[in-house]
Structures are given as C-alpha cells and as structure tokens.
Amino acid sequence: MSSTHEPSPATAAPDALEMPAPQVRELPARSIKGGLALLLGLLGLLVAAGLVASGASVTAAGAKAALTVVGILTGIAALLAMSAVVAARREIVNGAVGMVEAALARIAEQDIVELDEERKAAMVSNLMVVLCGDRAPQPVLNAGTLYQ
C-alpha cells in the first residue's frame, strides 16, 4: 500500500482543468543612486550645450536646425530628470520628518521613555539617516553613553 494518496480515476473531477505554467519572469529591481542621476543630468546638460554650440557653427541650414533642436531636447530631458530626482528626494525627506514627528509624539504620549533634548536629537538623527539613506544602515555599537 502506498503512503501517498492519489485520487483514483473514478473520484477525480471529470472537468478539472490543468493550468499552464506561468510565463512571467521576475527580475530584481535596479536603479541608480540619486547622486549619480544628478551627475548624469549635468553631463546631459553639457552634451546639450555642445550640440547647440556645434549647431551654431554649422553652415548647412538643415544640419544647423537638427543639431539645435536635438541639443534643446537633450537639455530639457536632462533638466526633467534632475528635477525628478530632487523632487523624489524631497518627498522622501518630508515623509521621514513626518515619521520622526509621529514617533516622538507617540513616545511622549504613551510615556514610553523620558528623553532629554540631547537624546531626542540623537534619536532624530539616527531615524533620519535610516529613513532617508540610499544604502542599508550599518549598526553602530556605543561603548559608553552620550554623557561621557
């Protein structure tokens, strides 16, 4: 007698559908750091300025117009990319400030622990680094207290 239970053909559902294997391929998300994005945006602005400048020195009207338009479009794209990075970072900081305010209010409201101003400042600093950082936080073990 087998230890696994397999339905016999008489008890199997006659209209059971077999589902095909999923055709989805999952890949890890990849992104570039904010500083690198800003640097690439500045590089894009330099390329745009170079295209517009070289368009001004070309004598053929069609090439002159093409280089100028491509330069302007490249500059606009670089500015939009840079402003998107800055806006995203601003939203991250605003959200982190709200979380820190809520944490401080909850600690005080529920009387969890009494924090003096120096310990509050240390907690705020640590929370802002963790919440706003673009890398995983590295734990630090203090060998003493804040008052040594």
- Domain positions in the chain: 34-132
For 68-103, the pLDDT digits (tens) are: 999 999 999 999 988 888 888 899 899 999 999 999
Residue 13's pLDDT is 58
Residue 5's pLDDT is 54
pTM of the model: 0.58
DSSP structure string for 92-127: HHHHHHHHHHHHHHHHHHTT-----HHHHHHHHHHH
Give residues with Cβ within 8 angstroms of 45, minimum separation 6. 75, 78, 79
Contacts of 62-69 spanning 24+ positions with Cβ under 8 A: none
For 8-40, the pLDDT digits (tens) are: 555 555 677 887 777 778 777 676 777 788 888
For 38, phi then psi, to 5°, come to -65, -40
State the chain's mean pLDDT as an integer.
82
